Chains A and B, each alone.
Chain A
Amino acid sequence: MTIVPTANLGLKRQDFLSSIDPKWCAGCGCYSVLRWLTGTFPTMNLPREKFAVISGIGCSSRTPYYVGTYGFHTVHGRAMTVATGLKLSRPDLSVWVMTGDGDALSIGGNHFIHMIRRNPNIKVILFNNQIYGLTKGQASPTTSKGKKTKSTPYGSIDPPIRPLSMAIAAGATFAARVADTDGQLMADILQQAADHKGAAFVEVLLNCVIFNDGTFSHLTEKAVKADTTVTLKDKEPLIFGNGKDRIVTIDGFRPQVEAYVPGSPLPDNALVHDVAVEDSSLAFLLSNMEHPDLPVPVGVFRKVQQTAYDDHYAPKGGDLMRVFRGSEAWMEDAQGHISLLGAQVAAASAA
């Protein structure tokens, strides 16, 4: 019993908001995810009760309270385990996990790897603000090296994790990245994630206005974003820059930036994106592209079709008494006379 969309139910975004007003800080990137998430749900042609939004602990993980579906605010780092159990038990549901960089990559790192590698039909949105917000500003696994936070007063000495690299290494069949400020791309990516049959992982570069304000402004400010990011498009080269005058080419395994005259033929070594290639090397390479040497890719890194984990789960039931009796049960009468049960008698005569 997998997800079965109904006819258009005429549901609107407002139908997917709960009666509780969000209590995130003004200007928090979380609002943007809530906006586009609840915008995606009505397009799926599923009634509200078929959705479950599961979270761990952190600012991101308050999301279920604000979505008018079933929701579960679980324990720190473990949302993906709860989501997995729910999805395996109820494949008819659309299950979404809201998590953060601390929740998914630090305390919940193990579950993140294993949920992704199993590929259940669960959608994971990682609110990456590179900081612990709800505990008021400690370094997270994605905090940049050298960053001063309350827990790293002399600058962080930990190399940051690249969430997409981790997801791709774990075998993600769908991996994407988008900034909280890019509503149009987020709507597109969430739609693709919703339609994907399998685990979908979406990293949202998300601004924390209080404890890490502007951490992604070099990628999101209008004046620079065309030069510092490249939007991935399937089967297309990575051309970027305000004048579309730069291109990512590849030298061996090393991506590099070259000047490009718009409209001219592509250089032989141009990197051309392909979301559906089985081998994950290209997606991994893209996930390693970092500012300032290279443009930071946003969009869909990888989208391949593999059997969804929950498709393996379909108990059909049967005769439980056969299980309980096993192959070695026997019958005794009131006098204590023993006789073998049918299956054994058959086996005995065959022998």
Chain B
Amino acid sequence: MTSHQLARTVEEVDTVVIRFAGDSGDGMQLVGDQFTSTSALMGDDVATLPDYPAEIRAPAGTIGGVSGFQVCFGTSDVFTPGDSLDFLVAMNPAALRANMPFLKSGSTVIVNEDAFIARNIEKAGYAADPLETGELNTFKLLRVPMVKATQEALGAGGLSAKQVDRCKNFFALGLSYWLFNRDIKQTQRWIIKKFSNKPDVLEANQRAFEAGLQYGKDGKLQNHTYATRAKATPRGAGVYRQVSGNTATAYGLLAAAKRANLPLFLGSYPITPATDIMQVLQQNKEFCNVLQAEDEIAGIGSAIGAAFGGALAATSTSGPGFSLKAEFINLAVMTELPLVIVDVQRAGPSTGLPTKTEQSDLLQALFGRHGESPLAVVAASSPRDCFDATIEAARIALKYMTPVVLLTDGYLGNGSEVWRVPELDELPVLKTHLVTNPEGFKPYSRDPETLARPWAAVGTPGLEHRIGGLEKEDGSGNISHNPANHQRMTDLRAAKIEKIAQDIAPTEVYGDADADLLVLGWGSTRGVIEQAIGHVRKRGHKVAGAHLRHMNPLPPDLKALMQKYKRVLLPEINSGQLAYHLRGKYLVDVVQFNKVEGQPFRADDIEAKIESLV
């Protein structure tokens, strides 16, 4: 623990949910990032929810321009970034107003009171100053003159008033560090590194950060501080870091290529919220080839070309781009080339809510192409699970010579949590169907175990052959218009995907296996469902939970598992896509629980639903 606190009392807490909110230009994401990495480094578990507008800098002071970063930190029960806020740091009236729905009775609201001037109050849509009207009476309101205090700390230096104002986020960060007894060293180092080429800004930020700390130490905020309790059970020995879902996905691709002993190729096009995957790989060009393509179609086209040449190939996108790639995905289905297609789902249809999350591309992933076009679909369940899910997608692609859709979403992609960094040799070795022997080579012969065809990469002597989108003759791969052959090939393509089920482990049931109610989930709802089940069980109800990684093929035991329970509750951040699919496939009913607000589920919503069913 740190040595700087002078507070009279330190209150021990298990878990805290705090949100930093301000204008898009106020540096709230930076504050949240620093607060989170420091907390993680102090041994806390963390789960984050960056919540930012689609506009880069919407008019300052307006609700539309509010950018927030929510983090849940602590030593137990950290499954999600949290339903409602224990603490809100609001840099202006709009940030306060936009986050009112997330406050609960007794929440602490720390406001930058300097921003509560008539113009800002009006811009936020308040009729009168909310700090004065009494509407915050149910909360613990702490008013801090952040701008004045920052100005005071910086003195009459060489910085403009605007530059000084831009340091106030570091003041807020410093104050928060004092309030929660965070270790300041990590952030001090970070500031030095980040601003090393701008000495005046470096010094200003250091002083603002120190001033925030000092403001707390001087007892100007309140008299007591908080500290998270030490963990009951340590995380286990190992190397840890904080990781976002998109970074974990990019690392998963790097790891998969390494473990398959293949070069990695990513063809991609910038699209929110998937762009980071491409950017992380671009930063690591010594390990992979990345093409920022001219459009979404070229992204996947280039990846298919790389796959033809023997690379582990991938393309990353979100909903609108996923639609554009559909024709090319079918080429990969027809030519049976390995390919990973990452869809970081966002709220649709059309441009929808680009920065908000949704699970609404499932049916598109399963069925959204012309013709009979089966492929494998896997879903990641948490930011760090994106790493493992990506490796699993690559494993299936290489073992079964098929395109695989990996579904993550904006919540996973941008959210982050603590990740134990595995050693490479802990990861599975990925086998390929690369061939070099010309004897008896047929491009569309089948491996009996997997029904995969051989992978004859361009450049392999003696295996020159032609592939394409026209229907193939079974075995030879020559063009064939034969009716019986088309039936056979259609069946073979479907049977090959079904074969993947042989690799799927029995579905793990957590909670009370003998309950009457099974809560089934898939993808990013894992944390919140598990948390809700935990809470309901603590209240004495029996509930079982199961979570799907493989969306196609589904686990072979799923139908029987669903039939074992009196009722199956299926929460999804869509209008019931998996429910629709399961009913059609198994003729087994489920109780749907759906929400499409562009936000992750709240645990208490799911708890209420569960309690209505037990």
Contact between B263 and A85, CB atoms less than 8 A apart: no
Question: Which one of A47, A326, A329, A338 contacts B461 once the chains associate, using CB atoms below 8 Å?
Answer: A47
- Please, what's the 1-or-0 string for B332-348, where 1 marks a CB less than 8 Å from any CB in chain A? 00010000000000000
A81 to B254, CA, bound (A): 22
Within 8 A of A (CB), among B273-305: 284-289, 291, 293-295, 297-298, 300-305
- Please, what's the 1-or-0 string for B247-263, where 1 marks a CB less than 8 Å from any CB in chain A? 00001001100100001
Within 8 A of B (CB), among A7-66: 18, 20, 47-50, 52, 54, 57, 64-65
Give the bracket for the number of chain B residues in contact with chain A. 35 or more
Question: Which one of B251, B265, B305, B461 contacts A81 once the chains associate, using CB atoms below 8 Å?
Answer: B305
Contact between B468 and A72, CB atoms less than 8 A apart: yes
A74-B331, A348-B185 known; A323-B287 Cβ under 8 A: yes
Cβ of B106 within 8 Å of any chain A Cβ, yes or no, is no
Interface-central residue, A71, A114, A325, A348, by most chain B CB under 10 Å: A71
Question: Which one of B241, B291, B463 contacts A85 once the chains associate, using CB atoms below 8 Å?
Answer: B291
Closest to A69 in B: B464
**Majority SS of interface residues in chain B?**
mixed
Contact between B469 and A74, CB atoms less than 8 A apart: yes
Closest to A325 in B: B421
B-side contacts of A18, CB under 8 Å: 466
Cβ of B103 within 8 Å of any chain A Cβ, yes or no, is no
Binds A, one of B88-96, B168-176, B188-196, B535-543: B188-196
Cβ of B56 within 8 Å of any chain A Cβ, yes or no, is no
Cβ of B234 within 8 Å of any chain A Cβ, yes or no, is yes
Contact between A332 and B240, CB atoms less than 8 A apart: yes
Closest to A331 in B: B239
Contact between B463 and A72, CB atoms less than 8 A apart: no
A92 to B192, CA, bound (A): 44
- Please, what's the 1-or-0 string for A79-106, where 1 marks a CB less than 8 Å from any CB in chain B? 0011111111110110000000000000
B-side contacts of A338, CB under 8 Å: 41-43
Within 8 A of A (CB), among B185-218: 185-186, 188-189, 192-193
B-side contacts of A333, CB under 8 Å: 234, 237
B-side contacts of A335, CB under 8 Å: 234
Contact between B466 and A86, CB atoms less than 8 A apart: no
Q: How far is the CB of A99 from the nearest CB of chain B, in Å?
A: 13
Contact between A85 and B251, CB atoms less than 8 A apart: no
Contact between B466 and A90, CB atoms less than 8 A apart: no
- Please, what's the 1-or-0 string for B461-476, where 1 marks a CB less than 8 Å from any CB in chain A? 1111111111000000
**Majority SS of interface residues in chain A?**
mixed
Contact between B251 and A323, CB atoms less than 8 A apart: yes
Cβ of A70 within 8 Å of any chain B Cβ, yes or no, is yes
Contact between A65 and B421, CB atoms less than 8 A apart: no
Question: Which one of A69, A85, A332 contacts B235 once the chains associate, using CB atoms below 8 Å?
Answer: A332
Interface-central residue, A54, A321, A332, by most chain B CB under 10 Å: A332
Question: Which one of B231, B458, B461 contacts A86 once the chains associate, using CB atoms below 8 Å?
Answer: B458
Q: How far is the CB of A180 from the nearest CB of chain B, in Å?
A: 23
Contact between A64 and B424, CB atoms less than 8 A apart: no
Contact between B286 and A316, CB atoms less than 8 A apart: yes
Closest to A64 in B: B466
A-side contacts of B284, CB under 8 Å: 323
B-side contacts of A64, CB under 8 Å: 466, 468
Closest to A68 in B: B464
Contact between B258 and A320, CB atoms less than 8 A apart: yes
Contact between A85 and B267, CB atoms less than 8 A apart: yes
Which 9 A-B residue pairs are closest in the complex by CB-CB distance? A73-B468, A81-B301, A85-B302, A336-B234, A85-B305, A86-B305, A82-B305, A71-B466, A114-B294
